[in-house]
Amino acid sequence: MSLVLQVGALPQWLTGALRDEYRALVLPDDGERDAFLAGPGRDVRVAATSVATGVSRELILALPSLEAVVNYGAGYETTDVHAAIERGVVVSNTPDVLSDCVADTALGLTIDVLRGLSAGDRFVRRGDWADGAFPLMRKVSGARVGILGLGRIGRAIATRFQALGCTISYHDRREFEDSPFAYASSPVELAAGADVLIVAAAGGPATHHLVDQAVLEALGTTGYLINIARGSLVDEEALVKVLMEGGIAGAGLDVFAHEPHVPPELLTLDNVVLSPHLASGTVETRAAMEEVAMANVRAYMTEGRLLTPVPEMQRAAG
Ligand code: 8YV
């Protein structure tokens, strides 16, 4: 009897640990899924997944013994947390351990796009240097940085830009009294007062297209957009249009609306830095994320509790 179910692909170490320690089964594809759910699926207590797959309402309802969903990754918008709460199923993610790497990536993309590091690399490789100097770019130190979403990752980003003497402001669902940074009451207000707008909020329906045409217009022709959060937070069509028309100065994007699809128009723009959702992608951080996910499975199986429940669970527990 298997009490742990793997839903979707997971990294190699985590897959092996789930199998070796709990004889975890992998949820079969559509053809065999019904038979699985009517048979071994009835005993499953813990589902381990990642944001790439998640556990839907339908699957939560189809697993009658399900008690916990352990998500590998900080983002968990593909798991139906409302359905989980309704069924008394607890959900965990892997926060904190990736904040440094994601914040490093936000800083790296900002320096790259403002100073033209990738563009300069292309310039040298093309042999253009022999024909004249690289154009002057924009200063990063001292810039006004607006952070959309001042959670753990947003705060780690702020720390890095503080070291560069930047002025930091932020917008979040609410103002944080413990924050030394100026609060903007809307994304438009944040963008209007920033040279660099960094998107660091969680994905999901509540933040869909938080950065829309109006926010991009408020950022203006000298402003830059950096997104290390989720493609869903930005109206990508509006972003492409505004970039093509020079409505903002440039963008550094690690995430896209339909990954791995990247709008082809962006490939032609020298003032846009594109990266393949690599923000947490270091050997150290991915190993730490796997460890946190596995520690949650073990804690649930031995003590009936999760170590890093998602915030909604804490709120539901009141
Ligand atoms: C992915 C991420 O999880 O944690 C998140 O929310 O976006 C990333 O770290 C990573 O691609 C692993 O699947």
Tell which one of 77, 91, 277, 280 to mutate to probe ligand 1, the residue whose CB is within 8 A of the most ligand atoms: 280
Calculate how far, in angstroms, residue 15's C-alpha sits from the geometric centre of ligand 1.
16
pLDDT tens figures, 181-240: 999 999 999 999 999 999 999 999 999 999 999 999 999 999 999 999 999 999 999 999
Q: What is the pTM of this model?
A: 0.97
Residue range 67-89: mean pLDDT, rounded: 98
Torsion sign, CA atoms 250, 255, 256, 259: positive
pLDDT for 315 beyond 90: no
Q: Is the CB of 228 under 6 A from ligand 1?
A: no
In the CATH scheme, what is the code of domain 4-95+284-317? Answer: 3.40.50.720
pLDDT, tens only, 225-248: 999 999 999 999 999 999 999 999
230 tagged catalytic: yes
Average pLDDT for 60-88: 98
**At a CB cut-off of 8 Å and minimum separation 6, what does 149 contact?**
170, 171, 172, 199, 200, 201, 202, 207, 229
Mean of all residue pLDDT scores within the chain: 97
Nearest-angstrom CA–CA distance, 19 and 215: 47
- CA–centroid distance, residue 137 to ligand 1 (Å): 32
9 lines ligand 1 (CB under 6 A): no
Residue 231 Cβ inside 6 Å of ligand 1? The answer reads no
Instruction: Count the residues in the chain.
Output: 318
Question: Can you state the angle between helices 152-162 and 99-115, rounded to 10 degrees?
Answer: 50
Q: Determine contact, residues 48/14, Cβ cutoff 8 Å.
A: yes
Helix segments in 132-171, DSSP class H:
152-162
Structure token digits, residue 39? 């048979």
82 noted as active-site residue:
no
- Looking at the chain, the whole-number percentage of residues with pLDDT higher than 70 is 100
Answer whether CATH 3.40.50.720 is correct for domain 99-274: yes
**Residue 77 a catalytic site member:** no
Q: What is the pLDDT of residues 151-177, one digit of tens each?
A: 999 999 999 999 999 999 999 999 999
What band does 125 get if pLDDT is binned at 50, 70 and 90? Answer: very high
Residues in contact with 162: Cβ distance below 8 Å, sequence separation at least 6, in sequence order: 168
How many other C-beta atoms lie within 10 A of the C-beta of residue 307? 16
Inter-residue contact 282 to 101 (CB < 8 Å): yes
- The model's pLDDT over 263-283, given as tens digits with 9 standing for 90+, comes to 999 999 999 999 999 999 999
pLDDT recorded at residue 318: 64
Residue 154: Cβ-neighbour burial (10 angstroms; 0-12, 13-18, 19+): buried
- Cα-atom radius of gyration of the chain, to the nearest Å? 22
Q: Enter the tokens of residue 112.
A: 């790259």
* pLDDT the model gives residue 316: 77
Q: Is 306 exposed, middle or buried (0-12, 13-18, 19+ CB in 10 A)?
A: buried
Identify the helix (H) or strand (E) that includes residue 46: strand 46-50
- Confidence class of residue 314 from pLDDT cuts 50, 70 and 90? confident
- Give the pLDDT mean for 24-28: 97
* Separation of CA 238 from chain center: 20
What are the structural domain ranges in the chain?
A: 4-95+284-317, 99-274
* Helix 99-115 vs helix 283-303: crossing angle, to nearest 10: 150
Q: Judge whether residue 126 has pLDDT over 90.
A: yes
| 277-312 pLDDT, tens digit each | 999 999 999 999 999 999 999 999 999 999 999 999
